[in-house]
Amino acid sequence: MTADFPPRTDPVPPVLEKDVLRKVARRLLPFIGLCYIVLYLDRLNIGVAALTMNAELGISATVFGFAAGVYFWSYTLFEVPSNLILTRLGARRWIARIMITWGLVTMATAAVQGTTSLIVMRVLLGFAEAGFSPGMLYFLTCWFPKRARGRGMAVIVAFIAISGLCSPISAELLSLDGVAGLSGWRWMFIVTGIPAVVLGLVCLRVLPDRPEDVTWLSAGERTWLRERLDAERAADGPEGSHSALRGLASVRTLVLSMVFITVTFALNGYGFWMPQILKTFQLSNTQVGWLGALPPLLAIAPVVLWTRHSDRTGERLWHFVVPCAVGAAGFLFAAVTLDRPVPAMVGFCVAAVGIYTALASFFLLPMSILHGTAAAAGLALINGLGNLGGYFGPQAVGLIKDATGGFGWAVAAFGIALLLGCAVATSLARDGRLRGRPRAPGETPGDRAADELDGTRTAFDGGRTRWAGRGARSLRTGETR
């Protein structure tokens, strides 16, 4: 519900930027993070279900890889339209719709009877979930200035890593086998679908669309935040704020889509197949669940520290490339040691630290380039096309497993894909918006080096002390501080 506030008639009191953003983060990020935990619970639970479902339904490795990954085709087809609808209806209503429908589809997956019905349900799940991730990323751009977005992404990816704890919970649900005449994996789909429906209903009450809609910020804080975000968009000029068509047609958008394909190829191939890879170590289902949770949990601290460093420096590109290369090294090490559980797990832990940190850093790239409707469309296209890697990754593992009888070459493929992503990403190295601290409203390139010495800025009175006119900016360029 949108609150009506009287127009501002007096000067907005100065507020500290960190105080406003701390309030915003405290109010919004825990709920967003919880939604992401449920998203990955319902997206990847098929990997745990496969421990018993594949044998019951007679599903081969190749067919399972196709069924797991086909979700991303429908997800991609509906991604851009879904995000454009979000910009019209608002995040609160549209994200609630997304969560409720994907929860219902997850629960309905318990009724599948064979390969065809499983594939149909995975396609429907893709349609239901489409728009959630880019919608949430677009939502972040409506609430957090550039220099705070890295921390926002860190929290989100940290929650995604925490979702690794859902693996042992899902594995434990398999023990319900036979209750009310249902297989354990069917109970797993029923139970794991319920949280999405509940959170979707909660979303309608707790997720505000804009700073103007909340009462937990003062009038001055609301005004400062809105004007700060507007000023950043204006400072970026027309390239970042054009129409949806500009966001879709941008060469950088297509390059970033290609990079994201390599990330999702490795991330989803790893996520969907990790339970079955660990099963080759002769572990129980419960042991598989707990051991599978270890690598993403170890990634939480590096994700937070690395993205904070990215925010402090404003550098985005190499903060993606470096952890992406680390992830590649981890997968390659795991591939050559896969016959030895302990060193293989070391490799998987290194890979998880790298790929989750790269994931947190990746979306800071388009969020630094695109704004407004262009951001909604561009983020949707990047997430949609990029997630095609989520189809090819699981499918490639299934094909390689059936062809070679093992997972070694498949795990190596994850590392090779990430190295390719590093190479493609470096083509953006000349974009100044991805290097160094982001430009503040009214700031010129000559101000940048001096402002690196500044600490956290004190927010000025609603942006009223922005540098006025080209003459003032020229004079300021020559200052020595």
What pLDDT does 378 receive? 72
Residue 325's CB is within 10 A of a number of other CB atoms, namely 18
**Is 121 a residue whose pLDDT tops 70?**
yes
**Is 477 a residue whose pLDDT tops 50?**
no
**Is 387 a residue whose pLDDT tops 80?**
no
Q: Which position has the token pair 């825990």?
A: 30
Name the band, by pLDDT with cuts 50, 70 and 90, for residue 371: low
* Range with the poorest average pLDDT among 14-18, 220-224, 273-277, 335-339: 14-18
- Amino acid identity for residue 244 in this structure: A
Retrieve residue 452's tokens: 């690196």
Euclidean distance between CA atoms 139 and 27, whole angstroms = 14
Residue pair 80/384 in contact (Cβ under 8 Å)? The answer is yes
What pLDDT does 442 receive? 46
Name the band, by pLDDT with cuts 50, 70 and 90, for residue 462: very low
**Is 385 a residue whose pLDDT tops 90?**
no
Q: Which position has the token pair 């209903």?
A: 201
Q: Tell me if residue 16 falls in helix, strand or coil.
A: strand
Over residues 296-324, mean pLDDT? 90
- Output 62 or 430, whichever has higher pLDDT: 62
Residue (of 47, 29, 427) closest to 255 by Cα position: 427
Q: Which position has the token pair 């080759």?
A: 280
Residue pair 259/388 in contact (Cβ under 8 Å)? The answer is no
What pLDDT does 235 receive? 67
Q: How many residues does the chain have?
A: 481
Structure confidence by residue, pLDDT tens digits, 401-410: 989 989 999 9
Domains identified in the chain and CATH numbers:
15-437 (1.20.1250.20)
**Is 96 a residue whose pLDDT tops 50?**
yes
Q: How many CA atoms lie within 13 A of 54 on its CB side?
A: 20
**Is 456 a residue whose pLDDT tops 80?**
no
Stated pTM of the model: 0.72
What pLDDT does 154 receive? 84
Secondary structure element (H or E) that encloses residue 458, with its range: strand 458-459
Backbone angles phi, psi at 444, to 5 degrees: -105, 165
**Is 56 a residue whose pLDDT tops 60?**
yes
What pLDDT does 86 receive? 86
What pLDDT does 285 receive? 83
- Amino acid identity for residue 144 in this structure: F
Residue pair 160/356 in contact (Cβ under 8 Å)? The answer is yes
